[in-house]
Structure 1
Amino acid sequence: MAKTFELEIIASDHPFFKGQCEMLIFPGIDGEHGILAKHESMVTCLNAGELRFLVDGEWHYAAVSAGFVEITSDYVVLLADTVEKPEEIDINRANEAKRRAQERLRQKQSIMEYYHTQAALNRAMSRLKVTKRHM
């Protein structure tokens, strides 16, 4: 049996997963991070994108938004604004959110509005990417 660590994935509105995990791959601000048991302790930022975790030899997938990840040698906590399984994502809603964000990017905005719009576009693109790959 592979070495495991305790993984807890928490969305802002509900617990998503808690249990033993063999490997975790998540999008960070500087690229993807892969976590195995006995990993060096750290705290890092989570970017919107695809989350993958291996439980009992089976990969599980989810779309995540921004958040934080705390890693110790035997325990990982991932906190995100949203965490969604591919089958929970409304593709039409994600496409509409993408279209709205792209339209807002074409308009003159303050720098703060631009960052909010870019974040909305990233969330929509992440949802669409996960559904396209895993449904």
Structure 2
Amino acid sequence: MSTFLLEIVTPDRLVYSEQANSITVRGVEGELGILPGHIPFVTPLQVAPVFVKIGNQTTAFAVQGGFVEVRKDKVVILAESAEKATEIDLERAEAAKSRAEARLGASRQDEIDHRRAELSLQRAMNRIKVSGGN
């Protein structure tokens, strides 16, 4: 079965560097499935899970924005942050979700604070989803 090198990189560290059969990401234009030999491109990513398939095993990562760059034999995800499902502290993610919901419910907010709260909520929900929580 064909593979390509997948690297998931954040400003802090190399999160993942392994061969993969396919990945699924959510770009700004929608969900993308990438297989070996895919045409080269670069696109921004949404806050969403990234699914990596190797053989019959699928691994999920909570990716918080960034870009995906597809090359001939390599795919690089440059993310603001990325966590493997097993690295996520579910209690912490649920607490972050509650805080973001409370900030969104506050009646007096400027537009910037409201947008920050929305992004915090998206990130928390993404982490909860990837970790297997509700």
1:114 corresponds to 2:95: no
How far has the Cα of 1:6 moved from its partner? 1.5
* CA–CA distance in structure 2, aligned partners of residues 85 and 19 of structure 1: 13
* CA–CA distance in structure 2, aligned partners of residues 51 and 12 of structure 1: 18
**Residue 71 of structure 1: aligned partner:** 70
What runs of 5+ residues in structure 1 fail to find an aligned partner? none
> What are the superposed Cα offsets for residues 59-86 of structure 1, whole Å, 9 maximum, x if unpaired?
1111110111111222111011111122
SS in 2 for 1:67: strand
Opposite residue 105 of structure 1, the aligned amino acid is L
* CA–CA distance in structure 2, aligned partners of residues 5 and 126 of structure 1: 26
1:37 corresponds to 2:36: yes
What runs of 5+ residues in structure 2 fail to find an aligned partner? none
> What are the superposed Cα offsets for residues 2-57 of structure 1, whole Å, 9 maximum, x if unpaired?
11112111122110111221101112222211100111111101111111111244
Count of paired positions: 132
**Residue 124 of structure 1: aligned partner:** 124
Structure 2-normalised TM-score?
0.91
**Residue 12 of structure 2: aligned partner:** 13
SS in 1 for 2:109: coil
* CA–CA distance in structure 1, aligned partners of residues 104 and 11 of structure 2: 27
> What are the superposed Cα offsets for residues 81-108 of structure 1, whole Å, 9 maximum, x if unpaired?
1111222111111111101111111122
Opposite residue 106 of structure 1, the aligned amino acid is G
After superposing on structure 2, the runs of 4+ consecutive aligned residues of structure 1 that deviate more than 6 Å are: none
* CA–CA distance in structure 1, aligned partners of residues 84 and 19 of structure 2: 18
User: Percent of counterpart pairs with the same letter?
Assistant: 37
